[in-house]
A and B are shown apart, each in its own frame.
Chain A
């Protein structure tokens, strides 16, 4: 049952030139709820996430976060909301400034929000250990670690401020199968441990059982099916969901 939404996307539209990328998309994410958003490449998942985080503006519809309308919030106004919403990116290494040590990047959200440096440093070590990395990784640079290790560090950065909402944009697609599984297990633990709501975007529906409470299936810029994860996987109704499940089985 849906609890009070922390993020509500209502009738979102987005165009690139004359091409409608998002067509009347609505999604609610409740407090502590993990919503999986699946669809084939190019169906509009990442665009929806960019709109939801206000990285790009939408051309119609409304976005509210904790009941406040942020549809037209300026970038400076969004800075206050970003304390409670964080994002983990598809390409882990590219999500870190190549000229900064990983520890400095993990510390950045804390420093920007006034946490004293000494306290931030101690918290970086704590976070690294929580995501399964040795503390000396704080001194390493992004190009000195593997993709999986870098994604763990990105997760550490995302949870540093204990956000209420986490956006995960294809966070395992750049990783090999074994590492994908480890990352999913870690994310599942952290989401439950920190009672975070999350929007988990992926093209691989097989990753969602055990992490997502419910699933929305996207195709051609629209949500074509939604339901609990087990229901959608066991009894897919839309062609898009069936295709994704077939592809997951094959893989």
Chain B
């Protein structure tokens, strides 16, 4: 029970972040895209709580609206990677044989590349933009889920309840959907939650390098890129989105850890 209590604050914080991202345009106090050079690079004050950037745009509004871009893109990417990778791994583990060998060698190839370097190369080839960045990260991230799912399925493949499902009249695909997937879901969800923090950093990282979100899109990594030459003179421009990334990544990493504590029966309280 204590494990569940420890989980609650992080669930609340993560939910708050997601609510902010979902209703960002309504929550943002000012127009995040309105430029006014007469108020450029103002330090935080009563009107501009986190100051303004070089174009006079409200940094707080851009951080709030940027949460939608950064979190939204990372979350969508996470869903695609985790569902796709899990399906590939589950099929490989359950069917075995040549299908397993082929899929796992493919994942070995993906794992052989240094992650961020490969993402930069792919994003470079495909051109800038959030979609290119997402494709680049997806190509190197799916093996994480495929390998986890395959390992879990291999452990349960000889369980009598799968044989019982065959006697009950389930096809192999139905067994995979109704019996295998629900039983491997918990560790996959725990991994995915902790992975969200990493994805946020990777998406923001590519945007920071100019290979993700394009100007004038409000996105945390791109905002840091815009403010990097102002670190000495107007640090709020780069620090605000930086701190937002730090907070979001910390929340999802800790939520992942707490979820693991709850689901992992081998850990003592």
A, B co-complexed: yes
Interface size class of A (residues with CB under 8 A): 20 to 34
Could you tell me the distance between the alpha carbons of A94 and B160 in the complex, rounded to whole angstroms?
6
Whether A108 lies near B165 (C-beta < 8 A) is yes
A70 → B minimal CB distance (Å): 14
What's the dominant secondary structure at chain B's contact region? helix
Is residue B97 within 8 Å, beta carbon to beta carbon, of the partner chain? no
What residues on A are CB-neighbors of B161 within 8 Å?
94-98, 105
Report the bound CA distance from A91 to B166 in whole Å: 17
- Separation of A85 and B183 alpha carbons in the complex (Å): 26
Given contacts A91-B160, A97-B183, A98-B183, contact A86 B165 (CB under 8 A): no
Q: Verify A89–B160 contact, CB threshold 8 A.
A: yes
B163 lies within 8 A of A87 (CB): yes
Residues of B near A55 (CB, < 8 A) are 163, 166
- Which B residues are in CB contact (< 8 Å) with A109? 167-169
Which residues of chain B have C-beta atoms less than 8 A from A96's C-beta? 161, 164
Distance between Cα atoms of A89 and B169 in the complex (Å) = 17
In the complex formed, the residue of B with least CB distance to A85 is B167
> Which bucket holds chain B's interface residue count?
10 to 19
Is B228 in contact with chain A by the CB < 8 A criterion?
A: no
Instruction: Tell me how far the C-beta of A237 lies from the nearest C-beta in chain B, rounded to whole angstroms.
Output: 34
Contacts of A95 in B (CB 8 A): 160-161, 163-164
Q: Are A108 and B170 touching (Cβ within 8 A)?
A: yes
CA distance A198 to B178 in the complex (A): 29
Per the bound structure, the CA–CA distance linking A95 and B167 in Å amounts to 11
A-B pairs, 7 with minimum CB distance: A112-B169, A95-B160, A109-B168, A89-B160, A108-B168, A97-B161, A94-B160
- Enumerate 29 A-B pairs (CB-CB under 8 Å) in ascending A order: A75-B166, A76-B171, A78-B166, A82-B166, A82-B167, A82-B169, A85-B167, A89-B160, A91-B160, A94-B160, A94-B161, A95-B161, A95-B163, A95-B164, A96-B161, A96-B164, A97-B161, A97-B165, A97-B183, A99-B182, A99-B183, A105-B164, A108-B168, A108-B169, A109-B167, A112-B169, A113-B169, A157-B168, A158-B167
Q: State the B residues within 8 Å of A (CB).
A: 159-161, 163-172, 179, 182-183
Supply 19 further A-B pairs (C-beta < 8 A) apart from A75-B166, A91-B160, A112-B168: A53-B167, A55-B166, A75-B172, A79-B171, A82-B169, A83-B169, A87-B164, A96-B161, A96-B164, A97-B161, A99-B182, A99-B183, A108-B168, A108-B169, A109-B167, A109-B169, A154-B164, A157-B164, A158-B167
Q: Could you list which residues of chain A lie within 8 angstroms of chain B, going by C-beta atoms? A: 53, 55, 75-76, 78-79, 82-83, 85-87, 89-91, 94-99, 105, 108-109, 112-113, 154, 157-158
